[in-house]
Amino acid sequence: MSDTENLTPVITIDGPSGSGKGTIARLVADRLGFRLLDSGALYRLTALAALEREADLTDEATLTEIAAGLDIRFELRDGETAAVLGGRDVSRDIRMEEVSMAASKVAAMPGVRAALLQRQRDFRQPPGLVADGRDMGTTVFPDAPVKVFLTASAEERARRRYEQLREKGVSVSLRDLLEDIRARDARDMNRETSPLAPAEDAVELDSTGVDIDDVLQRVLQLVHERIGGD
Ligand SMILES: Nc1ncnc2c1ncn2[C@@H]1O[C@H](COP(=O)(O)OP(=O)(O)O)[C@@H](O)[C@H]1O
Ligand SMILES: Nc1ccn([C@H]2C[C@H](O)[C@@H](COP(=O)(O)OP(=O)(O)O)O2)c(=O)n1
């Protein structure tokens, strides 16, 4: 790790699906003028590339090769970060439920995780980074000065996902979503490599019944205490 990297602050936000990581990470990054790493998008892009190639989702060697060779860029388009795979904007495709399920399978493979590690660390550039995912505070940026572990009950997370998909015009059943969330939680928490778990020095925030602005204020307060500034 270079000296610049050591001096560049990272705020990690880990937690289960629907806990609000992506929303809070974006707001914190905007407020501080920091870069943003949506690490889940990398697993989703690997899953999408694998599905499009009709690869065997249990074949770790092939999936590792796909992860290592991904041609991806994140671009700012109309104020939103677009995920670009092989020149194609796949921002919508990677949010599909089929890709979500495949991503959590692909993410359980140590080879895939190793292939994506350096790509994630490369996002650490001045003035700072906000990184959201499952293992940002434990494996990818263990020296981050601010680590948040965001949770919410499975029922509330399924409801949030339901509303989010409904707004996008996608029709799904709340029951199916709750089942999917539970299946994904179990897979993310029980895998051997970098399971979803709070880092020892993470601050746990339960966002059940807490609105987005209140969660944001708590995280900003933590940033203020740990690294100064806003
Ligand atoms: N504290 C909160 N209260 C209510 N809704 C929230 C809260 N945090 C996030 N949401 C909403 O829940 C949905 C999922 O949030 P998101 O940031 O995508 O979660 P994650 O990245 O953890 O999967 C979004 O529609 C978001 O607006
Ligand atoms: N750092 C990360 C980020 C995501 N993952 C896995 C876990 C999830 O099943 C998928 C997709 O993650 P993503 O954060 O986009 O998913 P949610 O928005 O929380 O539903 O990737 C991971 O294993 N490690």
Asked whether 66 and 55 are in contact (CB, 8 A), the reply is yes
ipTM over 0.85: yes
List strand residue ranges (DSSP E) for 41-128, in order. 72-77, 80-85, 88-89
Q: What is the mean pLDDT of residues 204-214?
A: 97
Q: Take atom 18 of ligand 2 and give the residue whose Cα is closest.
A: 17
80-84, 107-111, 169-173: which has the minimum mean pLDDT? 169-173
Enumerate residues 6+ apart whose C-beta is below 8 A from 87. 71
**44 in ligand 2 pocket by Cβ < 6 Å?**
yes
Single pTM value for the model:
0.94
What confidence score (pLDDT) does residue 229 get? Answer: 64
Q: Determine the topology of domain 9-219 in CATH.
A: Rossmann fold (3.40.50)
Query: Is the shortest distance between the CB of 133 and ligand 2 below 6 Å?
Result: yes
pLDDT in tens, 184-196: 899 888 888 888 9
Q: What are phi and psi of 223, to 5 degrees?
A: -60, -45
Kindly give the distance from the C-alpha atom of residue 133 to the centroid of ligand 1, in angstroms, as a whole number: 13
54 CA distance to ligand 1 middle (Å):
31
Domains of the chain, residue spans: 9-219
Q: Is the pLDDT of residue 228 over 90?
A: no
